[in-house]
Amino acid sequence: MANKKERKGLPVLLTLTVAALQVVHHWTGPVSVALYAAGDEWPLVQAYVRFLRRCYVPVRDRVTFHAAFPADRMPEAAAQPEQMTEILSLEAHLDCFRPEPSLKELMRQRRPETMRWRTRHGYPQNHLRNLARRTCQTEYVFLVDVDVVPSLGLAQGLNEFLKNAQCGGASAAAPPAVLPRPPRTGAGPRVGQRPGPPQCAFVIPTYELDERVRFPRNKSDLVRLAGKGLARPFHHKVFIYNQFATNFSRWQNEGDADNAPVHVAYNVTNFEFLYEPFYVARDTIPAHDERFMGYGYTRNTQVYEMFVAGVQFQVLSPAFTVHWGLQSKQARPAWRELQNNENRRHFDLFKREVAVRYRRDPLSMVQPNRASGKT
């Protein structure tokens, strides 16, 4: 019985290629993937899913796909017969050894108008994260972006760990043991509203990895690569707050054996706003707020709400995840800036709601004398 799973949060189909295939080969538990398709993309997305299922046994065995559509771009299920014939004959020639070019080939069939529509509209990632969560039935969730690859044996290791995982008494600063279940308006349904015991979230450190090296076999292999500058904490250069509170130097110095069972190495003690680790938790944690769309504030706001709710973050070892490619700071395209600004405005309201919902404001995000701003 699998009691946790992997859920794919950010399923831009174009990234559901090499890294995603590595994910399903490494992860031996069930996987729930959320897809977003607009109008004429749907028959093409279906063709690609058929291709993946035909070519890769782990996809066939372990992955369920779930789709969401924009209301004003419902799927054109009954594509024109001649278009369908074209898609099918194209599909028949896709090469299992070339998943990425195959995807590109299919996506080229989209109407130019659809591609333009894509660039104008924010990606509803939190809606898709909730969709992937909601369509899984396991007790624990490991929600990741589609290109975050788990270390080898992680699913089995977590299964063993979670069987006996305990979350001790809530920390002194924490509110009541049972997560409140606030009524919700306007932001879509909440996921997992059962009250539960005191909550812990088990952080699995994420590294970015130079594309020229082999996937690390184990933690000491990863630490060795980090020592050579071929691996480093995810987003270290782009946005250090992203994972800072995980305390990678401490994690690397833990010195636990590679074949040690998955265990809690230490607690996160320096939580700060904008922290957004990938973590495993019971699916009773708050949903992702769907008002955040596109770039910025989508995942870290959910992590922030967990913190305010009193969830204790605990860092696991020797488990880890990897994101391919060392990332460096780049100029942000204008659309990103726009989406980020839009989400920042939502955040002004969101942080006030969270403070009211849990009746606490541990990071002093809501200053009473500033509260008369726009809402």
Signed CA dihedral, 224, 228, 230, 235: sign only = positive
Total site size for ligand NAG, rule CB under 6 A: 19
Nearer to ligand NAG, 207 or 347 (CB): 207
Stretch that binds ligand NAG, among 16-24, 90-98, 114-122, 216-224 (CB under 6 A): 216-224
Stretch that binds ligand NAG, among 15-23, 141-149, 164-172, 321-329 (CB under 6 A): 164-172
Nearer to ligand NAG, 258 or 337 (CB): 258
In angstroms, the first-to-last Cα distance of the chain is 46
Quote the CA–CA distance of 11 and 33 in Å, as a whole number.
7
Q: If binding is defined by CB under 6 A, does position 272 make contact with ligand NAG?
A: no
Quote the CA–CA distance of 37 and 193 in Å, as a whole number.
28
Q: If binding is defined by CB under 6 A, does position 193 make contact with ligand NAG?
A: no
Q: If binding is defined by CB under 6 A, does position 221 make contact with ligand NAG?
A: yes
State whether residue 143 is helix, strand or coil: strand
Copy the structure tokens of residue 60: 């066939």
Quote the CA–CA distance of 144 and 277 in Å, as a whole number.
9
Q: If binding is defined by CB under 6 A, does position 156 make contact with ligand NAG?
A: no
Each residue 237-256 as x (binds ligand NAG by CB under 6 A) or -, in order, gives: ----------x--x------
φ/ψ of residue 216, rounded to 5: -60, 135
Assess contact for 205 and 320: CB atoms under 8 A.
yes
Assess contact for 268 and 173: CB atoms under 8 A.
no
Nearer to ligand NAG, 48 or 140 (CB): 140
Q: If binding is defined by CB under 6 A, does position 267 make contact with ligand NAG?
A: yes
Q: If binding is defined by CB under 6 A, does position 164 make contact with ligand NAG?
A: no
Q: Is 80 exposed, middle or buried (0-12, 13-18, 19+ CB in 10 A)?
A: exposed
Q: In this chain, which of 119, 185, 259, 364 binds ligand NAG, going by CB under 6 A? A: 259
Instruction: List interacting residues with ligand NAG (CB under 6 A).
Output: 167-171, 200, 217-218, 220-221, 247, 250, 258-259, 267, 269-270, 312, 314
